[in-house]
Structures are given as structure tokens and as C-alpha cells.
Amino acid sequence: MTLVLIAIGAAVGAPARYLVDRCVQSRHDSVFPWGTFTVNMLGSFLLGLVVGGAGAISPGVTALLGTGLCGALTTYSTFSYETLRLLSTGGRSLAVLNVVASLAGGLGAAFAGFAAATAIWG
């Protein structure tokens, strides 16, 4: 049953990643990967929220949301590819910014989600 819940979460997370990425990126006239950055920050926050509330929510819901939804919503491979693409096109400073902002922002978003869950479910 857990595998089915993960698959359902992934079936929602993957199209959500695509839609959010395209929506955000279409609003920016920049080579910086704002869409990928946004889905990774959103996924990090949601995963922090799920992990922080793990004692209050069932293991099945944790698998659905944490592994399935967040796993398919976030994308390390696209982050890596876009960083390499920035480097290869002469955007060294944007590549460095992408790495630093993604790591710091992702950790910060996960911490914020965890803190929010702790405040909600104590």
C-alpha cells in the first residue's frame, strides 16, 4: 500500500513541478532558472513540514507527501543541469548564485517548514 501512496504522490508532484516551473520561468526574462529554484524551495518547505509533523500524521501520509509528492516535485538533476548550462554559456556568477541560493534557501525552507509543523502540532 505504501508503494501505491508514493506513486500517487509522484503522479501529482511531477506535473506540478512542470506547471510551476513553466509558470514561474515565463514571468522572468532571465537565464537564471527561477522555475527550478521555486519548485525546489517549495518542495523543501513541504518536506520540512511533513517531517516536522511526522508524529502527528500517519506513515502512509508521510510516504504520500514526503516521498511521493516532494520527491517528484523537487529536482536535483535539473538543478545540476541548469547550473552546468549556466557555466557553459559564460554565466559563472549566475551558476555560483544558483548553487549557493539553492543550498541555503533549501535548507532554510526545510527548517521553516519543520518549525511551522512543530508550532502547529507541537
Q: What is the DSSP string of 22-45?
A: HHHHTT--SSS-HHHHHHHHHHHH
Q: Are 48 and 109 in contact (CB under 8 A)?
A: yes
Q: Are 23 and 57 in contact (CB under 8 A)?
A: no
What pLDDT shows up at residue 78? Answer: 96
Mean pLDDT within 43-66: 95
What pLDDT shows up at residue 54? Answer: 85
**What cell does 11 get?**
503522479
**What cell does 23 get?**
509558470
What pLDDT shows up at residue 33? Answer: 97
- Binding-site residue ranges for Na(+): 71, 74
CA distance 118 to 88: 42
Quote the strand ranges of the chain, DSSP E.
Answer: none
- Identify the DSSP state of 63: I
- Binding-site residue ranges: 71, 74
Mean pLDDT within 79-104: 97
For residue range 34-43, list pLDDT tens digits in order: 999 999 999 9
Q: Count H helices, E strands: the chain?
A: 6, 0
Mean pLDDT within 109-113: 98
What pLDDT shows up at residue 55? Answer: 86
pTM: 0.94
> Residue 11 above 90 pLDDT?
yes
* Domain ranges for the chain: 2-121
